[in-house]
Amino acid sequence: MLIQIATHQPQMLWPIVQGTPHWVWGLLAALLWLGLTQTLPRQAGLRRALLSPLALAGFSAWGLVSAFGGSTALAGALGAWLLAAALACATSLAWHRAPAAGTRYDAQARRFHLPGSPVPLLLILAIFLTKYAVGVELALQPALAQDGAFTLQIAALYGMFNGLFLARAARLWRLAQRGSQGGPAFA
């Protein structure tokens, strides 16, 4: 329905935006800041680099539970989310085995030197916009929360995003393991 509103009655989008709780815009600002910091070269500790994908996975899981918690399809949605995350992670790791060029790990300091990339920003925004669009759709059509096909599609989309983040963390973990064992810690 949101796509129909956007294409046939775009003037209705402004009231939707105005009706959005203020905390959502604060969350968006924080996520934008987080994503924008990822576009610049930076250093990150081992724990932070590996826990960030888990935090975003938690955000996605919260999105599923908050949207479909009362649905009988929640268990299937969580399964679809996990399956999509595993497939996206495996595919990404098969396609790009090494971290981004210029990534280094200092084993002594336990810190990564990471090049900037717009990819994390885009994935963070994709997760946020998916959560926002699902919230709007469910407000406009509450019966969608009980629609198994809709639930599975959204779960798979969240899972795909999370799988890409987890693949990045796995690449960094491998780099850290090589660096900790005295091997080359460059990618």
**Residue 185: is its pLDDT beyond 60?**
no
Query: For 126-153, what is the mean pLDDT?
Result: 89
Alpha helix stretches (DSSP H) within the chain:
2-8, 13-18, 22-37, 46-68, 74-95, 119-140, 148-180
**Residue 66: is its pLDDT beyond 90?**
no
**Most confident of the following: 2-16, 43-57, 160-174:** 160-174
pTM for this entry: 0.81
Beta bridge partners of 112: 44, 105
The pLDDT value recorded for residue 114 is 94
**Residue 183: is its pLDDT beyond 70?**
no
Tens digit of each residue's pLDDT (9 = 90 or more) over 93-116: 999 988 999 999 998 888 999 999
Question: pLDDT category, 31, cuts 50, 70, 90?
Answer: very high
Q: What are phi and psi of 55, to 5 degrees?
A: -65, -40
